[in-house]
Amino acid sequence: MKFFDDFLCQENKKNHRVCGDYCVCERTAAGMIYVVCDGIGSGVYANISAINCASRILELFRSGISIRQTSEMVAASMHRARKEDIPFAAFSAAVILPDGQFTAYSYESPSPVLFKDRHATTLSPRFYTAEFEVVGEVSGSLDFGDSLLLFSDGVSQAGLGHGYGLGIGSDGVCDYVNRNHRSRDDIARLPRRIMDMCNQVSAGNYEDDTTIALIHCRQARELALLTGPPSKRSLDQSYAADFMAIPGQKVVCGSTTTDIIARELGREVETLSLGNAFGQPPEYSIRGIDLVAEGAITLNQVYNIFDEPAERLAGDSVAERLCLMLREADVIHLLIGNAANAAHDDLIFKQIGVHVRKTAIQQIAEKLKKMGKLLVQRAY
């Protein structure tokens, strides 16, 4: 499975504390959207304009409107800003499908750059009108090791007035990448290196807000977490089969869930630990599964410690190890059984602050989304 890392580097215009560029990224099972917005002017007003533009694009896309229609609608609405005192922003918006196919739209923004087969190329947009405004469209595909670069005009206009005519342009970015990036180099450092180049050709200054976003395709690190019995026993077989068919690491949370998986797989359950009085939940072992533990308490503990620094998570408890596994994964498949557990209605659970399994798993899911993880959820 492909995963699309994103790396961002930004610098404010000289003598400004607030960046007038703004970026948003969202991943779903249907694909990834990345938006770079450049608000008119500089400082706070430009920042507000950029945030407003990015939020509109994201919300329109979330509502089911295609990225093409979304870009056209937002670009067309900017026409008013040419005559009225309302927020204006240029933008680039790219949608990448799970197979790596992408489409990017640009409005008053530099052409994207594709870094493919260790060679950078400026993508030449097809321009067309959206009411009174002009939008550029490019498309292509990202394979493992390829990258797509989106940037604001602080990059393309770097060097303006310092011997570079209208600035280095997208072609200047390509030339720099082709001359200086080597296959052994860390791709995550490339935006910073391009940024430093922009600074150098502009006599050591950033004469505009400058943003470089790099979207890189690599093999995903996948993890499947199965918790809770299915709503019907007739679903047990497909529940187990779907779980085992997912590549990558596998985790089972729940004592009853463990029994179901062991039965369906025809494998033995070994008890590794019965837990202790200090709140450490029981841990089990099933051949072919990376971690097997009790459900609700383990998930609550993972949620409670999730934001702790990595150095504090020594992996001494099952909750710590699960927390580390979730942090390291790119794609987390959540297979959630919908059977009711009467034990979770006991008052003691509320007294000790233990959330029911479904609540705990959704709380963890929210933290994972904020980290940029791709979550794929299925209910049984």
Q: Residue 9 maps to which CATH number? A: 3.60.40.10
Residues 198 and 231 in one domain: no
Instruction: Give the model's pLDDT for residue 20.
Output: 96
Q: Position 280: which residue type?
A: Q
Residues 122 and 172 in one domain: yes
Instruction: Give the model's pLDDT for residue 348.
Output: 63
Which one of 161, 189, 219 terminates a domain? Answer: 219
Which one of 201, 219, 237 terminates a domain? Answer: 219
Residues 182 and 153 in one domain: yes
Residues 156 and 214 in one domain: yes
Residue-by-residue DSSP string for 61-114? HHTT--HHHHHHHHHHHGGGGGTSSS--EEEEEEEE-TTSEEEEEEESSPPPEE
Model confidence pLDDT, tens digit, residues 305-335: 999 998 888 877 899 999 999 999 999 999 9
Residues 6+ away with beta carbon under 8 Å from 39: 20, 21, 22, 45, 46, 47, 48, 49, 50, 51, 53, 87, 88, 89
Instruction: Give the model's pLDDT for residue 41.
Output: 86
**What phi, psi does 106 have (nearest 5°)?**
-130, 140
Residues 239 and 271 in one domain: yes
* Spans of the chain, pLDDT less than 70: 277-278, 341-352
Instruction: Give the model's pLDDT for residue 86.
Output: 83
Instruction: Give the model's pLDDT for residue 78.
Output: 93
Residues 197 and 248 in one domain: no
Q: What is the DSSP letter of 323?
A: H
Spacing of C-alpha 128 from chain mean position = 30
Residues 215 and 278 in one domain: no
Largest Cα–Cα distance of the chain, in whole Å?
74
Model confidence pLDDT, tens digit, residues 271-316: 998 877 557 889 999 999 999 999 889 999 999 999 999 888 887 7
Residues 232 and 252 in one domain: yes
Which one of 219, 248, 271 terminates a domain? Answer: 219
Q: Which domain holds residue 296?
A: 222-379
Count the domains in the chain.
2
Residues 214 and 230 in one domain: no
Residues 233 and 210 in one domain: no
Q: What is the dihedral of CA 312, 282, 329, 371, to 10 degrees?
A: -60
Instruction: Give the model's pLDDT for residue 168.
Output: 97
Give, for 119, the enclosing helix (H) or strand (E): strand 119-122
Q: Position 156: which residue type?
A: S
Instruction: Give the model's pLDDT for residue 134.
Output: 96
Q: Which residue has the tokens 């310092």?
A: 162
Q: How far apart are CA 136 and CA 132, in angstroms?
A: 14
Instruction: Give the model's pLDDT for residue 356.
Output: 85
Residues 215 and 226 in one domain: no
Q: How far apart are CA 344 and CA 83, in angstroms?
A: 61
pTM value > 0.85 = yes
Residues 73 and 203 in one domain: yes
Strands across the sheet containing 210-219: 2-11, 210-219, 147-151, 113-116, 119-122
